[in-house]
Amino acid sequence: MNEERYILFDQYLQGEMTVEEKNSFEKQLSEDHEMASEFETFKDVQLQLKNKFEHDEEREVFKANLTSISDKHFNVSKPKVVLMKPWYYAAAASIIILFGLFFFDYNNPTFDDYNNPETASFVERGDSDTNLIQAQAAFNDGKYDVAIPLFEAILKVNNTPEIQYFYGVSLLEESKYPRAEIIFNELIAGTSVYKEKAKWSLALSKLKQKKYKQCKEILQTISQDYENYDDVEQLLDELD
């Protein structure tokens, strides 16, 4: 990526473009897949920064560290005080990621480290339920935003733990935490075979939100009979 693109990305997200500039930018995104991918990365990094640094003091410390590191990678010839815009933070953070120096949360596990949704297989041969067929296909293709409304329609007539579970996982994948956690807690309160899976998914929800203490507390309630208990132990070790 380059600084010019970061400026464009930031101007678009901050609503600083004219109507003509916005239309031109969106046309570029639709035609240039590489640029579109970079734009999504930019938005993700900005969101991570926003979630990570909730307090002014944390932001100031981060800014000071990033200024020092990013000056090196951007080949800035001499030290200077810089009033950095959000795009500059994201640019510096992205460079650090590429060089393996992304220091915040360095010692903490991430959601992506443990995010391995199982394959949905609740449609039987010859099943004619269109919603079920489409929901299963969307889930297995990672199109969780498509799967969610399909699961909601199914649950109105077929409110089984299995459908609830895959619906909850879809919500989690789309970062709809409150709704996902309601589903997981309902399953945890029940006696179905999805009880322990729901505990694991609830723990992953806390991990994705960087709520490490709550994640650890939930992990400690998971039965050792859980089929993927090795992952539970590994995540607990990493959280210690």
HEC profile of the chain: CCHHHHHHHHHHHCCCCCHHHHHHHHHHHHHCHHHHHHHHHHHHHHHHHHHHCCCHHHHHHHHHHHHHHHHHHCCCCCCCCCCCCHHHHHHHHHHHHHCCCCCCCCCCCCHHHHCCCCCCCCCCCCCCCHHHHHHHHHHHCCCHHHHHHHHHHHHCCCCCHHHHHHHHHHHHHCCCHHHHHHHHHHHHHCCCCCHHHHHHHHHHHHHHCCCHHHHHHHHCCCCCCCCCHHHHHHHHHHHC
Residue 126: the pLDDT is 64
The pLDDT tens digits of the residues spanning 131-178 come to 999 999 999 999 999 999 999 999 999 999 999 999 999 999 999 999
> Given a cut of 90, is residue 192 above it in pLDDT?
yes
Residue 89: the pLDDT is 54
The pLDDT tens digits of the residues spanning 36-70 come to 878 887 777 766 666 655 555 555 555 555 555 44
Please give the CATH topology (third level) of the domain spanning 111-239.
1.25.40
Residue 81: the pLDDT is 42
Residue 129: the pLDDT is 85
Separation between Cα atoms, residue 164 and residue 162, nearest integer Å: 5
The pLDDT tens digits of the residues spanning 109-137 come to 999 999 999 999 988 766 778 999 999 99
Average pLDDT estimate for 57-86? 50
Residue 122: the pLDDT is 86
Of 73-82, 197-206, 210-219, the one with minimum mean pLDDT is 73-82
The pTM score is 0.59
The residue type at 83 = L
Residue 205: the pLDDT is 96
Residue 179: the pLDDT is 96
> Given a cut of 90, is residue 86 above it in pLDDT?
no
* Contact assessment for residue 44 and residue 90, using Cβ atoms and an 8 Å cutoff: no
The pLDDT tens digits of the residues spanning 206-227 come to 999 989 999 999 999 999 999 9
Residue 91: the pLDDT is 52
Every domain range in the chain assigned CATH 1.25.40.10: 111-239
Residue 74: the pLDDT is 45
Separation between Cα atoms, residue 147 and residue 133, nearest integer Å: 10
Average pLDDT estimate for 192-203? 97
Residue 43: the pLDDT is 78
Separation between Cα atoms, residue 235 and residue 8, nearest integer Å: 39
Burial label for 132, CB within 10 Å (0-12, 13-18, 19+), is: buried
The pLDDT tens digits of the residues spanning 4-42 come to 777 788 888 888 889 988 899 899 888 887 788 788 877
